[in-house]
Structure 1
Amino acid sequence: MQLTPLDWSLIIGFFVISLGIGIFAAKQSGKSSENFFLSGRNMPWWLLGVSMVATTFAADTPGLVAGIVREDGVAGNWIWWSFLLTGMLTVFFYAKLWRKTNISTDLEFYELRYSGKSAAFLRGFRAIYLGVIFNIVIMATVCLAAIKIGHVIFGFTAAQSLLISCGVTLVYSTLGGLKGVLLTDFVQFIIAMAGSIWATIHIVNLPEINGIKNLIQHEVVQNKTSFFPDFSLPEVYIPLLVIPLAVQWWSVWYPGAEPGGGGYIVQRMLAAKDKNHATKATLFFTIVHYAIRPWPWIIMGLASLIVFPNLESLATVFPHLDPSFIKNDLSYAAMLKYLQPGLLGLVVTSLIAAFMSTISTHLNWGSSYVVNDFYVRFVSPKASPKKQVLIGRISTVLMMIAAAFLALKLEEAKKAFDLLLQIGAGTGLLFILRWFWHRINPFSEITAMLVSFVIAFLFFADDVYQWNLFDLLGYEKLILGVLITTVAWVGVSLITSPSSKEKRKEFDKKVFGEDSKFDGFGTKTLAFLAGVIGVYSILFSTGFFIYQKASLAILFVIVAVFCFLFIGFKWKVIVK
């Protein structure tokens, strides 16, 4: 693609702004680990909510969604739309609880909730397992998108793409801490959404597409537009709809959609001014993430079916790209070649922004585990605030380098998504119940983590090395993983001793106060259902407007309005 001086000025200008924010936030963020990782715990809900949305808009996300649409149609998105239930569960039951703990990371929860050396071991082990190993895998999938986009747009080699994109992100992440990340996220989100929406409008009006009406009615696209899979084909609707809604949302741990909350989502809750701001931020994120943001990517995926009907047509456009990278998730980047000067620069900037937002968050989140939950807890408890920040910055650099090298070994975003789902299979219910069921202990969590990982590794190795040990479909592997892992950790919970009564009382007093654990449970359950119905209604109404079915669109708008009016009336009970 040929970038004009206007395009380059937009890209370079964004880099300058990002670096400027990092420098601006550096002085305050460097004062202490709380400032570096939690921005002083005084952030407003709207900034935190936007940051959550920006973080989950990675450079690989448009390609992932477009690839899903090409393979399984719009209905294929239920594999991640189902996590809306997880998000709403976090909003109405857990967001305020996390903020009331007043801890520094979600891993600190372990020694707040559990007692003994096993709790300390679990905290330290998860710090390395999640904060370093698992985190590097996630960042590598995002770096894979940077490699593909860098080649398609700039003609860069994989090494050049990673050196430039990772280098700039590293600079402002290590300087500004979480405050720098939050402020940059706000700018990045505006650019990313403006770029994706404008690009979609331009693509739809190309002569090859000739408007949204022709796109929706095109013979190649018609059977891809339904919100739901074909219910006459069990082999289609079971893996695409039934399993995600019946099993996946509550049983699977996935970054950004952890049952009960976790990771960088909890990091932002803990940085909120209070429990009200934490809950509002999470609700805002859940609405925008599932109902508003995906449609430009979906439309782009549908349009790509007309321009690039198969992988062979994609390969002819990029003859110099490594054949292993020619997958359906490349279609989004391939469509960018049809953008005009100026718009191309904005969209490229939006993709760079999406990449930097996600990577910077994962770097800050991962280094917070390394510092708070490993280094200070086990290596140097008396480390000075400046030493803690220094360790955080060093770990940030090392994780970025490791993720970049791993990205060179990956091929497709969807495969990495499936692997992460399998690794988290069976652990979700534990994270939901551990706040309430006293039998759950560190051994329960260790069992769930190890069993799910071993099962995922066996399935993954069986596919990669073609051992043919497991003649199972993808969703069958997920169910088996959930079943075995759940039975394992529940069994361990029943045969091992729970934490001491004193520890449980101390935890309950801090988190639940004088109220019962189930205070307001009925209202929160109704709010949860209203939230789920309301967000899906926004999602469907947007789609029906795009499909030019105004009556259905208006009907779902009315449903959404009633759902959120109910939540508004019950808000004081929800955040009490």
Structure 2
Amino acid sequence: MELSTLDYSFIIVFFSIVLFIGVYVSKKSGASSSEYFLSGRTMPWWLLGLSMVATTFSTDTPNLVTDIVRTNGVSGNWVWWAFLLTGLLTVFVYAKLWRKSNVNTDLEFYELRYGGKPAEFLRKFRAIYLGVIFNVITMSAVTLAAIKIGGIMLGLEPWVTVVSAGLITVTFSALGGFKGVVYTDFLLFFVAMGGAIGAAYYLVNIPEVGGIEALMANENVADKLSILPDFTNKQAVITLLVIPLAVQWWSSWYPGAEPGGGGYIAQRMLAAKNENHAIGATFFFNIMHYALRPWPWILVALASLVVYPDVASIHEAFPNVAVDKLGHDLAYSAMLTKLPSGLLGLVLASLIAAYMSTISTQLNWGSSYIVYDFYKQQINPNASEKRLVAVGRISTVVLMVFSAVLALLLQNALQLFEVLLVFGAGTGLIFILRWFWWRINAWSEITAMFASGIISILLKLTAIGPFLFAAGSGVFPEWAEYPFVVLSTTIIWLAATYMTQPESKQVLQDFYRKIQPGGPGWSKVVKEAKAENVEIVNTKEKWSVPAGISAMLLGCVLIYSCMFATGYWIYGKTTSAMILTGVAIVSGLLLARAWNKMKDHIL
């Protein structure tokens, strides 16, 4: 496939603007570490919300959704749609707590909530584990998608894609810091959404597909359309709906959907002007992320089933693609090769935008862990602001190099998604409860982290997994692997919690005085402080968590209704679409009323 002059113009102009933004803000971003990693905590909700959406719109996301739809149908997306519950819990309960903490990174929370050597170890270990190891794996999955897109659409060798895509990204990320990332995300959001919608509209109407009605009626597509799994298929219902909605959303740690908030989502909440802006940003993100953005990808994935019904047909059309890179996820890139000049350039620019947004965020977030939670904490506590910024820029480059090398060794993004999901199983409940239950200590988190990892690895080992737990063994059905990890990890960390000493009275009282979490889980600490004439309660507000949970449930009804309604409007099911649109409007009005009772308007 050859690009026209118009296509190249789109891409060159886009690159130029992005680099200009990075250079333009570099001087102010380099003024201090707070400016470099949090933009001085002055960001408005709408800019942070757009940045969250742009960040989670990576090059591997359309590939992942395509793989899911082609393998398990539209309903297969419940494996990540269930995380809406996590996201809205963060919006209405945890966003204000994070902003109130005023920490530089979410890992700094460990030494605010816990004390002593265990807290120091937890912060240092997770800085390396998340900031380097986990972060590099995540970025490598995004880069793998870029490799596949480059191979399919432009016939590029993997190393050429890695070097060309990575060089621009790491340059503006290292120069511009967090402000450069967020400002470019504003541009990247509109480019990425425009490209995705334009591609979906065009590809559904190409002659091979024949339009939306012909697509819906195609025999390869008809059984993939349902938004809910087939309720007569017990395994599908359990795997795609029951486990995600009943267990997965609260129990698993996954980047961008951490129970209780965390990672780059927490970074943006910490960068907000105030608590209301933090709440507004995360709510806007969840609406866009779940209700609207998936549908252009889903439509392209469904259309690909008409043009490329199986992996063999993809290989036949693109024989130069390496065998170890073949998979259903390639179908998205394969469909994009059919775009006309102009639109092709826009879509390529949108995919580059998606790649750059995600990678730049991961780089800045991971670098913040290395600088604040490892370098400053363990190596040079007295480092100047200039030195901290320099270390941040160097670590940004190093992280990019590591992820690029790993990407050349990977094959499939969905495989990595599943591994990461299971690897964090069972730890989520701690991230939810640690704000509201005084008894959780550093050893609770340390135990859960290692227990979850070890159990997950054992289940994946061929020497143990197939013999004891594999599907069909009669001992452990395939769908039960995730709940088993969650249950085992939960029992282990609860046991460790009661077998170890609670945090010191001083640590607990200081945490309560700063955060004001409230609730029955802190009643013992409050009573003891009152008996000692120590003031730790400095607000007369009612405990906001029950109201927050009510708002979360209304928000779920609102966003899921919007998501279903959008799908049914596209499918041409007008009656169902109108009913769900009505439900969305009513739930939206009720949510606005509940929100007003909780706090002032975010604006």
Instruction: Quote the residue 1:484 is aligned against.
Output: 488
Offset, 1:153: 1.4
Which letter maps to 1:348? Answer: L
1:523 equivalent in structure 2: 547
Q: Distance in 2 between matches of 1:522 and 1:118?
A: 32
Query: Can you give the 5+ residue segments of structure 1 that lack an aligned partner in the other structure?
Result: none
Provide the rounded CA distance (Å) in 2 between the counterparts of 1:322 and 1:401: 22
Determine the structure 1 residue equivalent to 2:568: 544
In structure 1, the residue matched to 2:139 is 139
Distance 1:469 1:241 in 2: 25
Cα distance, 1:573 vs structure 2? 3.8
Q: What residue is the counterpart of 1:182 in the other structure?
A: 182
Q: Is residue 470 of structure 1 aligned with residue 494 of structure 2?
A: no
CA distance in 2, matches of 1:316, 1:81: 33
> Is 1:103 the equivalent of 2:103?
yes
Length, aligned pairs only? 575
- Pair 1:421 & 2:421 matched: yes
Deviations 1:73-122 (A, max 9, x none): 01000000000000011111100000000110000000000111111111
Aligned residue number for residue 212 of structure 2: 212
Q: Distance in 2 between matches of 1:483 and 1:518?
A: 33
Query: Aligned residue for 2:371?
Result: 371
Instruction: Report the Cα distance in structure 1 between the residues aligned to 2:280 and 2:586, rounded to whole angstroms.
Output: 18
CA distance in 2, matches of 1:295, 1:516: 45
2:592 aligns with 568
* Correspondences of 1:361-400 after superposition (within 5 Å): 361-400=361-400
Shift, 1:470, TM fit: 3.5
1:124 is matched with which residue?
A: 124
Q: Distance in 2 between matches of 1:159 and 1:360?
A: 19
Distance in 2 (CA, whole Å) between partners of 1:17 and 1:544 is 38
For residues 36 and 242 of structure 1, what CA distance do their matches in structure 2 show? 42
Q: Contact 1:462 / 1:470 at 8 angstroms: preserved in 2? A: no
The 1:375–1:573 alpha-carbon spacing in structure 2 relative to 1, beyond 3 Å, is farther
Shift of 1:460: 3.2
Equivalent AA in structure 1 for residue 82 of structure 2: S
Given that 2:79 and 2:244 are in contact with CA atoms closer than 8 Å, whether structure 1 keeps it comes out as: yes
Distance in structure 2 (CA, Å) of the matches to 1:148 and 1:469: 36
- The change in CA–CA distance for 1:475 and 1:395 in structure 2 (over 3 A counts) is farther
What secondary structure does 1:350 align onto?
helix
Structure 2: how far apart are the matches of 1:290 and 1:80? 9
| Closer, same or farther: CA 474–91 of 1 in aligned 2, 3 Å | farther
* Shift in Å, 1:404: 0.7
**Aligned with 2:462: secondary structure?**
helix
What is the one-letter code of the residue matched to 2:498?
A: L
Which AA in structure 1 matches 2:343? L
Cα distance, 1:467 vs. partner? 6.6
Query: Distance between the aligned counterparts of 2:565 and 2:299, measured in 1?
Result: 15
AA of the residue aligned to 2:488: I
Map of 1:431 onto structure 2:
431
For the residues of structure 2 that align with 1:261 and 1:167, how far apart are their CA atoms?
31
Deviation of 1:478 (Å): 1.1
2:250 aligned partner: 250
AA matched with 1:144: L
* 2:198 maps to 1:198: yes
1:502 to 499, 506, 510: 506
SS at match of 2:273: coil
User: What one-letter code is carried by the residue in structure 2 that aligns with 1:567?
Assistant: L
Q: Which residue of 2 aligns with 1:9?
A: 9
Aligned pair in 2 of structure 1 residues 238, 466: CA closer, same or farther (>3 Å)? closer
Distance across 2 between alignment mates of 1:89 and 1:508 = 20
Q: Choose 511-520 or 316-325, whichever is displaced more.
A: 511-520
Q: Which whole-Å CA distance do the structure 2 matches of 1:142 and 1:568 have between them?
A: 36
C-alpha deviations, 1:555-574, integer Å up to 9, x for none?
11111112222222232443
**Correspondence 1:442 to 2:446:** no
Q: Which blocks of at least 5 consecutive residues in structure 2 are unaligned?
A: 472-476, 517-536
Rounded to whole Å, the distance in 2 between the matches of 1:421 and 1:183 is 30
Question: How far apart in 1 are the matches of 2:173 and 2:500?
Answer: 42
Separation in structure 2 between the aligned mates of residue 537 and residue 68 of structure 1, nearest angstrom: 21
Which SS does the other structure have where 1:328 is aligned? coil
String of CA shifts for 1:194-251, please: whole Å, max 9, x gaps: 0000110000111111111111111111111001111111122110111111110011
Partner of 1:222: 222
Distance 1:35 1:460 in 2: 42
Which range is displaced more, 509-518 or 107-116? Answer: 509-518
Give, as a single letter, the amino acid of the residue that structure 1 aligns with 2:480: E
1:32-431 to 2 correspondence within 5 Å?
32-431=32-431
How far 1:373 sits from its partner (Å)?
0.6
One-letter code of the match for 2:553? L
Q: Which of 559, 565, 568 does residue 535 from structure 1 map onto?
A: 559
* Residue 557 (structure 1) aligns with: 581
CA distance in 2, matches of 1:170, 1:392: 12
TM-score (norm 2): 0.93
CA distance in 2, matches of 1:555, 1:185: 35
Q: Is the 8 A contact 2:188 2:354 kept in 1?
A: yes
8 Å contact from structure 1 (residues 96, 575) kept in 2: no
What secondary structure does 1:425 align onto? coil
**1:346 and 1:401 mapped to 2: Cα distance?**
28
Does structure 1 conserve the Cα–Cα contact (< 8 Å) formed by 2:43 and 2:273? Answer: yes
> What SS does structure 1 have at the residue aligned with 2:394?
helix
Distance in 2, Cα, partners of 1:58 & 1:470: 34
Instruction: Indicate conservation of the 8 Å contact 1:462/1:469, yes or no.
Output: no
Question: SS at 2:237's partner residue?
Answer: helix
In the TM superposition, what whole-angstrom CA distance separates every residue of 1:259-305 from its partner, at most 9, and x where no partner exists?
Answer: 00000000000000000000000000011001110000001111000
Aligned-residue offset at 1:518: 6.7
Give the residue type in structure 2 aligned to 1:519.
W
Percent identity for Structure 1 against Structure 2: 53
